[in-house]
Structure 1
């Protein structure tokens, strides 16, 4: 019996060690974030263990664990019709508010969920709740796209799914079927979904077969480039909860079907060193020394390696593809993009991706609204209700929805 107190003490200490992470005081509710992050890391550790023993791919396990109790059937309410259907071979969930009595056309938002191109779902409680809220508050039809995920498919299949569904929605007969106003359509997404939303909007500007133009794009803490993992936000937030720099690199490698053996080389920018001619010109388009404000740059210095690892570029050729990294698109493409909303969070490795994109769009003549949240963290917009309520989540969601209401 005397061993029991010692065992309890040891387990308590181990639990505290697992949960506790030093966090900036400016973060929204840091202790709550520590507990949330510990839950995520526990799920990741279990999935990695299953992968190690050959039971299944770690991302399949992680998706199963995260979605087992979280998948929702389409449930309509008195004022909102929710249905699952298929657009050009791609599954979507549609949220339709009550039709206007005067028969007027409705606004529409095409929403693309995040999750590192490998996790998440239009059917997940978090995204179902978010899209319901958007549809009700904006009084707009929301089409949430259920694209295929890693490891079942890799780049560019996720983008192909989203693009196919988006083009289908923009067909005149589909717009008419759902009473959508062709002049009031937005494309939006968060994190990896923000990446896909940005890439879709860029592709639409090049596709002459599409006659309906998107009015807005709204990008929520988007991931937009794979060439520099030492921007100030990556350096500042490399070990931040929810999304660390190393985890983001592994998501990228899984998406582009590259080996995790390249991760450590990419962490120090060996994949874009000065001796790799293919990447030098592309790095110039994300010169954060000129694209970021001093308050973001602080005292951080750019990381350019003289001699790097060309095997990464050869092993992962898609890292040079603009469709994967919308931030490095030519100015001629950016000039054609619609009015844009970019949301970034201070405590997020992706903060500078969104900020640099907003700046490049402004320089190309695009009307841009950039909302930055000093106490925000990656993914916070999904945490705006009990039991994972964060004040930053509620405020980011409110700001995003208000912008849509005012501009769409």
Structure 2
């Protein structure tokens, strides 16, 4: 009995030690987040083990876990017709409101899911719930794009899929088929999907061959640049789940097909050192000492290396490509993009990407609504539904849909 009690206590302490991580006291429901993060870390470690043993790519292991627990079939419900189809060869899930008066034109939203360009799917239960709710409350047609993922494809394929599906949906005959008002269509996405949404919004806005353009862009904690991994939010939240600073660098290199050995030099900003002139034009676009207000900059200082690693930019030139890093776009491009909603979270390494982009859009005379959550963390908006419900997730979804309802 004593041995059983001792073993039980030891196991309990071990599990608690594994789960517990120090978190800011202002973050939403910390113990719930710790449990979520422990699950995610376990899946990542299993993936890394399989990768190291040559059994499978670590991303494939993570996606297998996601597919096993999260996938939802295209089930229609009262008020929303759901179907899986393809738009110009790109897989999409369409949520079509069946409410409203016959002949009434609906609103439309192209939605791009997050997951570091490597994880997730439009068929995940969390995105299915979100898009279904959007269709119901907005009386809209939501096109959730199932773009291809790394490592099967790399940049610019994910971007090309998002752009191709968007261009197809914006065709007048397609909008007419779905009874969508061509003057009331938006593009939106979260995290890596926010990156794709911003890049697509720029391209669509400047494409003179299109007769229909997006009215709005709604970006949820978007990732928008990979030249500075030491902005105040990267420094402040480097070890805050569920998106750690090193993990974000790893996702970037998976997306852009870079050597994994570049992670540590990139985290030190060695790819944008003073002696690397090629990166300088990009750095001027994300000078956070100018773009961020004092309340955000606080005591943090820029991390600038005197000498860097030129090989990174040489081998991964897409780090300077605006299709991958929309924050680097010129003002004359930004000026043509639609009104923006940008959701940011205090406890998120990507907080400052969104804030800097909002500031640059404002400098280009684009109207911007910034919706900031002091208790929010990266990914919280998809944790607004059972079984991973967070109160801050519920608030973000409510306010996001309300803004669309008021502006679309």
Normalising to structure 1: TM-score of the pair?
Answer: 0.98
Q: Which residue number in structure 2 is paired with residue 347 of structure 1?
A: 347
- Structure-2 separation of matches of 1:11 and 1:252: 37
- Structure-1 separation of matches of 2:262 and 2:329: 24
Cα distance, 1:211 vs. partner?
1.3
RMSD over aligned Cα, in angstroms? 1.0
- Structure-1 separation of matches of 2:235 and 2:219: 22
Residue 289 of structure 2 aligns to a residue whose secondary structure is helix
Cα distance, 1:71 vs. partner?
0.9
- Structure-2 separation of matches of 1:74 and 1:383: 20
- Structure-1 separation of matches of 2:111 and 2:273: 36
Q: Which residue number in structure 2 is paired with residue 389 of structure 1?
A: 389
Q: Which residue number in structure 2 is paired with residue 236 of structure 1?
A: 236
- Structure-1 separation of matches of 2:265 and 2:39: 29
- Structure-2 separation of matches of 1:137 and 1:350: 28
CA contact (8 A) 2:126 2:385 kept: no
Q: Which residue number in structure 1 is paired with residue 273 of structure 2?
A: 273
Q: Which residue number in structure 2 is paired with residue 71 of structure 1?
A: 71
Q: Deviations over 1:163-205 (max 9, x none)?
A: 0010000111111111110000000000000000000011112
Cα distance, 1:222 vs. partner?
0.2
Q: Which residue number in structure 2 is paired with residue 87 of structure 1?
A: 87
Q: Which residue number in structure 1 is paired with residue 287 of structure 2?
A: 287
2:207 counterpart of 1:207:
yes
Q: Which residue number in structure 2 is paired with residue 106 of structure 1?
A: 106
Q: Which residue number in structure 1 is paired with residue 96 of structure 2?
A: 96
Cα distance, 1:10 vs. partner?
2.5
Q: Which residue number in structure 1 is paired with residue 374 of structure 2?
A: 374
Residue 346 of structure 1 aligns to a residue whose secondary structure is strand
- Structure-2 separation of matches of 1:122 and 1:115: 11
Q: Deviations over 1:273-296 (max 9, x none)?
A: 011111112101111011111111
What are the residue-to-residue correspondences of 1:291-370 with 2, within 5 Å? 291-370=291-370
CA contact (8 A) 2:109 2:140 kept: yes
Cα distance, 1:102 vs. partner?
4.2
What are the residue-to-residue correspondences of 1:162-241 with 2, within 5 Å? 162-241=162-241
Moved beyond 4 Å, runs of 4+:
none
- What are the ranges of 5 or more consecutive residues in structure 1 without an aligned counterpart? none
Cα distance, 1:99 vs. partner?
4.9
Residue 357 of structure 1 aligns to a residue whose secondary structure is helix
Residue 188 of structure 1 aligns to a residue whose secondary structure is strand
